[in-house]
Chain A
Amino acid sequence: MRLEIDWTRCDGHGLCARLLPERIGLDEHGFPVLADGDVPADLVRPARRAVAMCPVLALRLERTPVPSH
């Protein structure tokens, strides 16, 4: 599984970085910076929690994506 952000929705509330600091940091403007790669199995539960808490539904947990055109 992999975390994905809909950047057109994200307003930089920063809750995700508080709930999942192992995978998400914040840049100088308060927008999330995701760690590279897939979410390890032991962090999938807290990742789901961070997804559920995003106030603008910008964060998603998805299967590792197929390459796009």
Chain B
Amino acid sequence: MSTVHDVRPGPAAATWGEARLLAGTAAGRVDLAHHRATHGRPARLDAASTTAALARVALLGRGGAAFPVATKLGAVATGPRTHVLVNGSEGEPASLKDRTLMQLAPHLVLDGALAVAAALDTRQVTVVVQDAAAHHALRAAVAERDDAHDVRLQLRPHGFVAGEVRAVVRAASGGPALPPGRRTLPTVDGVDGRPTFASNAETFAQVALVLCLGPDRFASVGAADEPGTTLVTLVGDVHRPGVVEVPTGLPLAALVGGGPGPVLVGGYHGTWLAGPGSLTLSRPAMRAAGVPLNAGVLARLPHATCALGEVAAVARWLAAESAGQCGPCVFGLPGLAATLDGLLAGQPVLAHARQRAGLLPGRGACAHPDGAARFVATALDALGDEVERHRTHGHCGRPVRGVLPLPLPLPRPTTRPEAAR
């Protein structure tokens, strides 16, 4: 697993339409006085009322699984043994939205976490981050508050799989940052074996907004099936790369441009499409279309880079990010990456690549092999012309420019061409 991260937050995040999460952040981190002047205080509600408010705005988790937050909250027992876990790991290298949010608006994340903890009648709040700047901003924010003495801030090493919520739960309990081999529900068996409400950093900030604005105002913008705003990270050949807060319901084409050409939705566990089509930015609509938004990464490759080479580089990185626990992932992901390197070199191994990708889903302790297989299999469909160009010429004539960001050092291409077969 790589430990060096070269991905830095881009320029200050942008907002299209009404700024909510990012309100007041133009000058950098929002301190407590500025935060209170901007957002006020979240309403103090008990667990049932909080759950009802979150249900009214149909809030979905912003980490990737898009699970209904009200359902999750309603499943957690209340009391002082219960834990609240803010997962700010953001192990996805193409995603910058959570670290940007925690750097710019740490009090909004803390407001959400403390409100959930109060509703659950507990004081146990843990915030786990992988980004040093986000950690710094949160630490400063905790020091400014008189209600956050019990908040535990943890800076954890980098890793894609280590950011999976059950791996974070294990690490926060003093164990290894690895997903457990058996099915566990954090709501029942979470931090230190106790009931735990765990969600992504943006989710907690959205909870704070619901409690500050009230459900009606919160739902006054955005799509009917998922009201409000959402953070996305735009990558590559887009009008404005970086983190942007947008109302839900916008056409995808408005975010990544409407022209033809492959679009990646949902990051490195995501889905390649031949173009944005008529999709709109709402998690329920995108899930129904079979294109989950995951953590909100949208990427478009410029023509100047070798698209297949970009995909192969990510596949190599995904293989290197295997936690090393499960055989099908430990052997299957490098095998798949080698097949892609074979395609890159013009070998006729397309069917083999599809077969290897097809064997990965459902065969691991976490969804890493499933996500990696989806990323590769949909790329093979969306980049069919590219694959054919490589097969006939052995190359496409364009260099790999590294448009899809990866932590350094990069895994090397396979040196054994026979491994592709």
**Chain A residues in contact with chain B, CB under 8 A?**
5-12, 27-31, 33, 65, 68-69
Expressed in whole angstroms, the minimum distance between the Cβ of B169 and any Cβ of chain A is 11
Contacts A31-B363, A33-B363, A68-B185 given: A8-B332 contact, CB under 8 Å?
no
Contacts A12-B327, A31-B327 given: A69-B363 contact, CB under 8 Å?
no
Count the A-B residue pairs with Cβ separation under 8 angstroms: how many?
Answer: 49
B183 and A29 form a contact (CB under 8 A): no
Query: Which listed residue, A6, A9, A27, A65, touches B328 by the CB 8 Å rule?
Result: A27
Q: Does B346 contact A (CB under 8 A)?
A: no
A69 and B185 form a contact (CB under 8 A): yes
Interface size band for B: 20 to 34
Which chain A residues lie closer than 8 Å to B178 at the CB level?
A: 8
CB-defined interface of B333-352 with A at 8 Å, one 1/0 digit per residue?
A: 00100000000000000000
Q: Does B182 contact A (CB under 8 A)?
A: yes
5 A-B pairs closest in CB distance: A8-B181, A7-B326, A6-B181, A29-B331, A8-B325
Query: Which listed residue, B72, B181, B182, B359, touches A33 by the CB 8 Å rule?
Result: B359
Return the chain B residue nearest A9 by Cβ. Answer: B181
Query: Which listed residue, B65, B182, B186, B335, touches A6 by the CB 8 Å rule?
Result: B182
Q: Does B365 contact A (CB under 8 A)?
A: yes
Q: Does B50 contact A (CB under 8 A)?
A: no
Which chain B residues lie closer than 8 Å to A31 at the CB level?
A: 327-328, 331, 363
Which chain A residues lie closer than 8 Å to B328 at the CB level?
A: 7, 27, 29, 31
A7 and B363 form a contact (CB under 8 A): yes
Which chain A residues lie closer than 8 Å to B329 at the CB level?
A: 7
18 chain-A/chain-B pairs, Cβ below 8 angstroms: A5-B363, A6-B181, A6-B182, A6-B365, A7-B325, A7-B326, A7-B328, A10-B326, A10-B327, A28-B335, A29-B327, A31-B328, A31-B363, A33-B359, A65-B183, A68-B183, A69-B72, A69-B185
B183 and A27 form a contact (CB under 8 A): no
Contacts A29-B331, A29-B332, A31-B328 given: A7-B183 contact, CB under 8 Å?
no
In the complex, what distance in Å separates the CA atom of A11 from the CA atom of B329?
A: 12
Return the chain A residue nearest B182 by Cβ. Answer: A6
Contacts A7-B364, A8-B365, A11-B327 given: A27-B359 contact, CB under 8 Å?
yes
Which chain A residues lie closer than 8 Å to B359 at the CB level?
A: 27, 33
